[in-house]
């Protein structure tokens, strides 16, 4: 796969993702975030596999940055989903 084809696929995926997310009703944003957290978990596994196959120092650095960014994205997604779900609980349940 050439770089031009990879860029083309990335642009098509970005446009399709934007169009899909923009049409989701507000009430379905929390389940959509849960699904995206699942996808970020897969990205994290892929980054760890890429780091395990890295040969040179540059590849190790890029793999490490990928693992750190994927971890932060997944953890941040779960934290924000948790906060959103707390908004649906009534205050009587906490007492």
Q: What is the pLDDT of residues 1-46, one digit of tens each?
A: 788 898 999 999 999 988 988 888 877 877 777 777 788 888 899 9
Q: What is the pLDDT of residue 68?
A: 94
Q: Taking CA 14 as the corner, what is the angle to CA 5 and CA 8, rounded to the nearest 5 degrees?
A: 10
Written as six digits, the tokens of 58 are: 């540059």
- The better pLDDT of the pair 92, 3 is held by 3
Q: What is the pLDDT of residue 48?
A: 92
Residue 73: pLDDT band with limits 50, 70, 90: confident
Instruction: Output the pTM of the full model.
Output: 0.60
């Amino acid at each position: 796969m050439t770089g031009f084809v990879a860029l083309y696929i990335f642009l098509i995926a970005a446009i399709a993702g934007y169009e899909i997310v923009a049409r989701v009703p507000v009430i379905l944003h929390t389940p959509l975030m849960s699904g995206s957290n699942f996808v970020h978990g897969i990205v994290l596994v892929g980054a760890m596999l890429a780091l395990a196959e890295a040969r040179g120092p540059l590849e190790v650095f890029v793999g490490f940055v990928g693992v750190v960014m994927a971890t932060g994205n997944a953890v941040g997604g779960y934290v924000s989903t948790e906060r959103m779900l707390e908004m649906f609980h009534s205050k009587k349940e906490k007492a």
